[in-house]
Amino acid sequence: MGCALMTTAGGVCFRPLTEVAAHYRRGELSPTELTRLFLDRIDRLDRSLHAFITVAADRALEDAAKADRRLARGDPGLLIGIPIAVKDSIATAGMRTTGNSRVLEDWVPHRDAAVIERLRSAGAVIIGKTNLNEFGWSIPTPDDLCPPPRNPWNPEYAAVGSSSGSAVAVSAGMTTAALGTDGGGSVRLPAGQMGLVGFKATHGLVSRVGVLHAGSIGDVGPLARTVADAAALLQVLAAYDRDDPDARPRAHADYLGSLDGGVRGMRVGIPRSYLDAVSVETEVSAAFDLALDELARLGVTVTAVEIPALVYARAANFVVLNAEHYAAHEAVLRLQWARYGRSARLYLAQGAFLTAADYLRAREVGRLARLAIDEVLQHVDVLAMPTSPVVTAEAARRPDVHRRGIGASFTSPFNLTGHPALSVPCGMSAVGLPVGLQLVGRHYDEATLLRLAHAYEQATAWHTMCPPERVAAR
């Protein structure tokens, strides 16, 4: 079968998962054809973008061929044959998993992480492992195991992390979707900066078993082209896992099926005092205000809310991350100090100087913040704020900003409190990097959150834009 879609406007490498699945069903495209297209693009583009640490070409083509056969038999699964890239902190059996660290440079897990088992069972094709800040906790440097990814929207700028490679891979048309992990915004921040949807579900809804150092607040989440794609992935990923201590058995909603339920009359709260307290760049504020206008046009009531605990939740999340990262690495740091990158080993070492009391107080702040947010979410359906206060990774990585976690001011509180949150594209900056809108929902009410995000997305055109490289690479 020839790939007729390859040269059509939009290019199949930039089409959403749901659309690709429809092409498969109509026989217009096969998983093997699409996988080959992506492998070719990776070969041409990734020498400069650095999205991938490992490209699993042979295994991906084997799995794509299996998917071809499943589709030929009429198997209806939505993810069959969909190429997905996976952050290299998520274990993949038979495929090395490095955390972008020389400490694990040659580690090949024997088992898949729980989320990989679910993706493979659903027929997805794991196309490769993506780049990240070393162990998700450093400022990337050129001497990392794999050098830092560049932002395909404007390669003059770095891609913000830590799931930067996953976002670059999707954004640059090197895969249909990807998985990242998010302990302070690491799925939502790169999604926002690269024009994608990044989604962190309620803590415990998606298993973290087999994820390097997920700690007590990290989550696995999809990076996708549309809200519907994120919903489709959540449909497969959300499952009770008795091996995940934070998982709770519960019935899962039809996330994809409930997207079109309407949003008129929905109430959105803006934590205005917190936004004012964070130094938000002018372009980000402007894009956010326009997004609120659009929500109002959709019939949504936008109102200011007060959540004083948010500023402390940000600091508390930073304390928890520091303490847990140090605890996870303490023994290996002593034995293999020189194998860690220069930035990662310092970021990891600082957690040694926190006390047990610091950690417990941070957890208590998290509990109080959750209560405060839950109280507000009795009066509004969803909270809204910018995904990031700044446009570029360079601004977020200024040492005085990065070591206080200020770039994650709007994302990290909801890791500590466990609320579901996503980033959806809402604007474009003067330097050509996208800007994200973050929406936050009630615990386990992913359906409402996705419905609002979908309505906003469909009312705007931001999600239809592609990096300028696409024209040259098509």
Partner 1 sequence: MGTRFSSRDTFHDAVRALQLPLTDEEVNAVWTMVTDLHDQADSLLRFLQETPGADPLRGSAEWGARS
H or E segment to which residue 358 belongs: helix 356-376
- By beta-carbon proximity to partner 1, the closer residue of 106 and 400 is 400
Known catalytic residues?
87, 162, 186
Q: Please tell me what DSSP assigns to residue 150.
A: B
- By beta-carbon proximity to partner 1, the closer residue of 167 and 310 is 310
- Residues lying near partner 1 in the complex (CB under 8 A): 309, 312, 315-316, 318-319, 322, 333-334, 337-338, 345-347, 349-350, 352-354, 358, 360-362, 364-365, 367-368, 371, 399, 403-404
Q: How far is the CB of 415 from partner 1 (least distance, A)?
A: 15
- By beta-carbon proximity to partner 1, the closer residue of 268 and 362 is 362
The C-alpha atoms of residue 295 and residue 455 are separated, in whole angstroms, by 9
Q: How far is the CB of 353 from partner 1 (least distance, A)?
A: 5
Q: How far is the CB of 253 from partner 1 (least distance, A)?
A: 30
The C-alpha atoms of residue 234 and residue 220 are separated, in whole angstroms, by 10
The C-alpha atoms of residue 86 and residue 223 are separated, in whole angstroms, by 10
Q: How far is the CB of 367 from partner 1 (least distance, A)?
A: 7
- By beta-carbon proximity to partner 1, the closer residue of 107 and 353 is 353
- By beta-carbon proximity to partner 1, the closer residue of 65 and 376 is 376
- By beta-carbon proximity to partner 1, the closer residue of 130 and 412 is 412
Q: How far is the CB of 346 from partner 1 (least distance, A)?
A: 5
Listing DSSP states for 326-345 in one string gives HHHHHHHHHHHGGGS-HHHH
Placement of tokens 């896992």 in the chain? 241
Residue 309, token pair as written in the block: 């605990």
Q: Please tell me what DSSP assigns to residue 50.
A: -
The C-alpha atoms of residue 197 and residue 177 are separated, in whole angstroms, by 10
Q: How far is the CB of 52 from partner 1 (least distance, A)?
A: 30
- By beta-carbon proximity to partner 1, the closer residue of 309 and 391 is 309
Cβ count near 356 (within 10 Å): 8
Q: How far is the CB of 276 from partner 1 (least distance, A)?
A: 18
Placement of tokens 């921040």 in the chain? 189
